[in-house]
Structure 1
Amino acid sequence: MSHAPPNPTLSPVIDRRLPYAQKLATRATSDIDLAVIHCTELPDLATAREFGERVHYDSGTGNSGHYYIDRDGRIERWVPEDHVAHHVRGWNTRSIGIELVHTGRWPDWYHSRRQVPTEPYPDVQIDALTALLRGLRESLPSLRWIAGHDDLDREQVAASDAPDQSVRRKIDPGPGFPWPRVVAASGLARLDPDSPLPFPAKSDE
């Protein structure tokens, strides 16, 4: 089924909750001040769904974002906003996770010579993202910041082809993501987790 979005320019969002969604911890939506942008680093939405349904924790839950946006602009909501999804370590309780279907480095995520994704983000997908963000700003008054997964998770892991080399565990949404366009259209400020000030806007440079 679908629910009417708060922003009239946003296409209907398909409500497709994960089987374990109700087992996730709850929160007040007034606690949400950050949107985290991811890319799936998987070939398609069906593969992302299969991964999202996998159980990884004793609570009977797994890893996923709240929203998924396909290449054609289709938006699905897998976890309601008042539940805490597992999508970015250390920031889950205050954030909304938005996943863009994108191949990223798939299927060789940690290969040392395959760390620069080449797939572009389609305009229709980015338009759907910015419309969703504007809608979320209306329904979540505390929402103020935006960040990429790579801004918040900077862990290095051993390269799969060269264990003596290190690569980023998470690089999404990647160097091809149009940050200036998304920040300008969404009205959110880019978060700088390294600043000594409380989450000032991050430069797009």
Structure 2
Amino acid sequence: MSKLDTLQQALQTLLGERIRSLTSALGELTLTVAAKDYTEVATTLRDHPELRFEQLIDLCGLDYSTYKDGLHEGPRFAVVSHLLSISKNWRLRLVVNCPEDDLPRVDALTPVWNSASWFEREAFDMFGIIFDGHEDLRRILTDYGFIGHPMRKDFPTTGHVEMRYDAEQKRVIYQPVTIEPREITPRIIREDNYGGLH
């Protein structure tokens, strides 16, 4: 039995009904759980001697609104965590979907792995996902006056406001975006003998 099979069997045995899906692809396991079970499953993944995922090495938000050209069925937002067990030498991807699209929220993993703190702040800043129980959930990459969440698929590529230095006021000011949207059509070059093919 391979190491991946051993991990998969342990997850199925220990988590049982709390598993929404458990898939294996490209030598990695992806475990999806419900938001209501998220903290409990994370704690089990960390503490159970058969699993021992001591480290959370990454956490990010996802916006599925344009996934598969908008044909995705299910919640719009998800949180994905990548876990590492040093003692067992295996990895796991943990996925939880945010139950509500209008106000995406899940429990914070900072009480389980304190390394989640800045990652959760980034997911909040970029996607607007609320992490219940996070002690310092505030923007981390954008300015305090920033409007919106720039990694959401419906966020305009030009943004809403721009910032510039005003020499008369001798300070930075915000103003509406002055970039005019335009459509860029690529120029297509057709050659009969392109690439030496005849």
Structure with more strand by fraction: 2
Instruction: Report which structure shows greater RCO (CA 8 Å, sep ≥6).
Output: 1
Question: Do the structures match in fold with TM over 0.5?
Answer: no
Q: Scaled by the length of structure 2, what TM-score is found?
A: 0.30
Larger Rg: 2
Q: Scaled by the length of structure 1, what TM-score is found?
A: 0.29
